[in-house]
Amino acid sequence: MVAFIVRRVIAAVLMLVIVSVATFAIFFLIPRALGQTPEGMASRYVGRDATPEAIQGAVKRLHLDDPLIVQYGRFAKGIVAGQDYSLGPRKAECPAPCFGFSFNNNQPVWPTLLDRLPATMSLALGAAVVWLVAGVSIGVISALKRGTAVDRAAMTVALAGVSLPIYFTGLVSLSVFAYTLGIFPGGGSYTGLTEDPVMWFQALVLPWVTLAFLYAALYARLTRAGMLETMGEDYIRTARAKGLKERTVVTKHALRATLTPILTIFGLDLGLLLGGAVLTESTFSIPGIGKLVIDAIRGNDLPVVLGVTLFAAFFIVLANLIVDILYAVVDPRVRLS
Amino acid sequence: MTAPLDVSGQAMEAQPEAVLEGAGGKAIEGRSLGQIAWMRLKRDKAAFVGAFVVVFLTLIAIFAERPFGGLIALFGDPPNLPNNDLIDPMTSAPLGTWGGMSLEHPFGLEPVNGRDLFARILSGAQISLLVAFLATLVSVVLGSLLGVLAGFFGGWVDTLISRLMDVFLAFPLLLFAIAIVGAVPDKALGLSGNGLRVAVIVFIIGFFNWPYIARIVRGQTLSLREREFVDAARSLGAGNRYIIFREVFPNLVAPILVYATLLIPSNILFEAALSFLGVGVAEPQASWGGMLTRAVDYYQIAPHFMIVPGLAIFVTVMAFNLLGDGLRDALDPRAR
């Protein structure tokens, strides 16, 4: 088991390196490959109508004319050990982990990320509880009542659920429940949990339900398919032949086998959302990481976009690692491969 | 499944395939996988509705603006013509009930500038389907090629491609797409404006989704490689290239078709999401996602402006999903 964990951790670290290279490549290799000059890139950091001298200065200060490999080295070193940026006369410190430095508001990106994390976590974790419970129970019921009206109705709703864009369901729910009926507060009313727990809860109900609706639909479909496959296995027949109650067969034998792959997907989905639920956050104006990246791209604040991308990728790799290890605990066969 | 002896109407309902095999004591006809799939698909009403809508929407998208102004010109205003006289100057909502819906403007008008929503929905359909189809094509070509190579050759080729798939699947796709759109310069590859945007979006969606196809293709190839007909071909002196393209590949067409059909709706949603976030197709070109962004500010005074593009996305995506699910059930008996 220890050997397995060590192997997975090494793989995860390698993955982080690859992800950081890929992220770096997006911001520095792609523009260059598409014919962008260092000056052109610098002008995106200092503003479009800067003087040629200012742009030249920015190229020098940001070392944009260095070979890419040197630039990557500096970027990677910044994450591990921190980095200083010289902004004309004064220096700006970006302590480790340096996820970049926003020149729009003269701040390192990392503290901003941490600042935005609670909102995203509130949204993602709350929604995850709803969709996991709702999705799995609907999927199981559908599979057990296969072919009945209940099954067909549930699967039609689920198919509709995966076909609806989240910002559309979000807007409709805002329009009905916030604007017309006035039951819940409208967009942009997110409040921190520590500030006002009641308001926090009220403001998050609609985003939770909206986000959970999509994932519940997805999980209901997955659970149903998995459950149907498991129920056809020989060991289920054996369990029934032993005279076990149907309830025990379903919960102890079938559900457990169905849930393991679903939990893997769950870990990855949650990891993905923690890196920013971009669409839900921008629909409901929740000041999380996803909203941060959208505001940054509109304000042409590329270092923030880079920082968020990296941050989100780290979350996914971490989620992957945790899921792998948990999986090995649950299913000993995994450890051997 | 064996053919039941009872050829009553009830059994005909329940197991027509099996019954047909032995019906009336006729000689048992061999049926190809395609024929069996077609029979199953014909019985699947939902898939048929999906297929109908898909064909209908594709035709609409193709003929939206050409020839001679296409369907849009046939039914009224061009997509970018403002109708300021039809807008209430106080609220900037369209005049009339239901957002100004009338025979001339069947889907109503956009708030503020009064552009015709019917024309904009049709024009958006073009972009949406174009991006979705092209991106799917990119994924299918990359995914099939790498999937076959990984499954057929195994060893280090498989390890390399499989690891590459893991890496791709670990990327936060939406954030990467946002980042790439932000990092691409305004002019590149001789393209600029929306032409460049569409090319970039197609590349991103296509390039990051190939592992979904490759995973399926690899799995199928792994099992096909061990089959007798491959051994037979090899013993007759066929080379790797012949075996891959003439023996293995025809057996992969069905799963590729299914997963390509299921990839299209997710690509439509992805393109709409990018446009919604303001990093997709830019104004004044109409796009369904872009219309919903603007609807955020007007859903209180003009709810039709949110409902019309939302339903357009929903109907299109649902139709492709129904067709894809139907195809999967028809072509893959195990998945039922």
The domains found in chain A, sorted by start residue, are 2-94 (no CATH), 109-336 (1.10.3720.10)
Residue B86 has a pLDDT of 67
pLDDT at A256 over 80: yes
Residue A3 scores a pLDDT above 80: yes
Q: What is the pLDDT of residue B11?
A: 38
pLDDT at residue B24 above 60?
A: no
Torsion angle, alpha carbons of A215, A220, A223, A229, to 10: -140
Note the pLDDT tens digit of each residue in A81-104. 777 776 655 667 777 777 777 777
Q: Per-residue pLDDT averaged across B286-303, rounded? A: 84
Compare CB distances from A298 to B185, B278, B292 and report the shortest one's residue. Answer: B278
Nearest to B299 among A174, A317, A320 (CB): A174
- Predicted confidence band at B146 (pLDDT cuts at 50, 70, 90)? very high
Residue A337: per-residue pLDDT: 55
Distances (CA, A) of B241 to B9, B156, B220: 50, 19, 17
Residue B16: pLDDT band with limits 50, 70, 90: very low
B179 vs A contacts (CB less than 8 Å): 23, 26-27, 305-306, 309
CB contact (8 A) between residue B179 and residue A305: yes
Over range A279-308, report the average pLDDT: 87
Distance from CA of B299 to the nearest CA of A (A): 7
pLDDT band for A12, please (50, 70, 90 cuts). Answer: confident
Categorize the per-residue pLDDT at B69 as very low, low, confident or very high, splitting at 50, 70 and 90. Answer: low
Of B184, B265, B317, the CB nearest to A34: B184
Residue B13 has pLDDT above 50, yes or no: no
Average pLDDT value over all residues in chain A: 83
Return the residue of B nearest to A169 by Cα. B310
Torsion of CA A132, A134, A137, A139, to 10 degrees: -90
User: Mean pLDDT over all residues of chain B?
Assistant: 79
Mean pLDDT of B127-153: 92
Q: How far is B219 from chain A (nearest CA, A)?
A: 17
Verify whether the Cβ–Cβ distance A165 to B180 is below 8 Å: no
Phi first, then psi, for residue A84 (nearest 5°) are -110, 140
Chains A and B form CB pairs within 8 A to the count of 137
CB contact (8 A) between residue B314 and residue A165: yes
Chain B contact for A13, CB < 8 A?
Answer: no
In this prediction, residue B179 has a pLDDT band, given cuts at 50, 70 and 90, of confident
Interchain contact, A302 vs B175, CB within 8 Å: no
Instruction: Give A 182-201 residues with CB within 8 A of chain B.
Output: 187
Contact yes or no for A162 and B303 at CB 8 A: no
- Give tens-digit pLDDT for B196-208: 888 888 988 998 8
**Could you tell me the pLDDT band of residue B7, with boundaries at 50, 70 and 90?**
very low
- B265 vs A283: CB contact, 8 Å cut-off? no
Reduced to 3 states (helix: H, G, I; strand: E, B; else coil), residue B303 is coil
Looking at A113-127, A214-228, B94-108, B288-302, which range is the least confident one?
B94-108
Cis before residue B185, ω within 30 degrees of 0? no
Q: What is the mean pLDDT of residues B224-247?
A: 86
CB spacing of B299 vs A276 below 8 angstroms: no
Q: Is the peptide bond before B67 cis (omega within 30 degrees of 0)?
A: yes
CB contact residues (below 8 A), chain A span 25-44, against chain B: 26-27, 30-31, 34-36, 40
Q: At B109, phi and psi to the nearest 5?
A: -125, 155
CA dist B171 and B215 (Å) reads: 16
Given the structure tokens 């508001």, which residue do they identify?
A: A105
Least-confidence region, from A83-87, A182-186, B233-237: A83-87
pLDDT score, position B132: 92
- The predicted-structure confidence for A121-176, as pLDDT tens digits, reads as follows 999 999 999 999 999 999 999 998 888 899 889 998 999 999 999 999 999 998 88
pLDDT at B28 over 50: yes
B299:A312 CB<8 A: no
- Is the per-residue pLDDT at A201 higher than 60? yes
**For residues A325-337, average pLDDT:** 73
Residue B280 CB coordination number (10 Å): 29
Position B333 pLDDT exceeds 50: yes
Q: Which residues of B touch A174 (CB under 8 A)?
A: 299
Quote the pLDDT of residue B142.
Answer: 93
- Least Cα distance to B255 among B162, B317, B335, B146 occurs for B335
Chain A segment 240-259 residues within 8 A of B by beta carbon are none
Q: What does the alpha-carbon distance between residue B47 and residue B323 come to, in Å, rounded to a whole number?
A: 4
Q: Which of residues 287-306 of A touch B (CB under 8 A)?
A: 293-294, 297-298, 300, 302, 305-306
Give the closest-approach CA distance of A89 to chain B in angstroms. Answer: 28
Residue A140 CB neighbours (<10 A):
21
Supply the pLDDT for residue A182.
Answer: 81
With an 8 Å Cβ cutoff, is A162 touching chain B?
Answer: yes
B-proximal residues of A, 259-278, CB under 8 Å: 272, 275-276, 278
What is the reported pLDDT for B1? Answer: 37
What percentage of residues in chain B have a pLDDT greater than 90? 14
Chain B residues in contact with A316 by the CB 8 A cut-off are 170-172
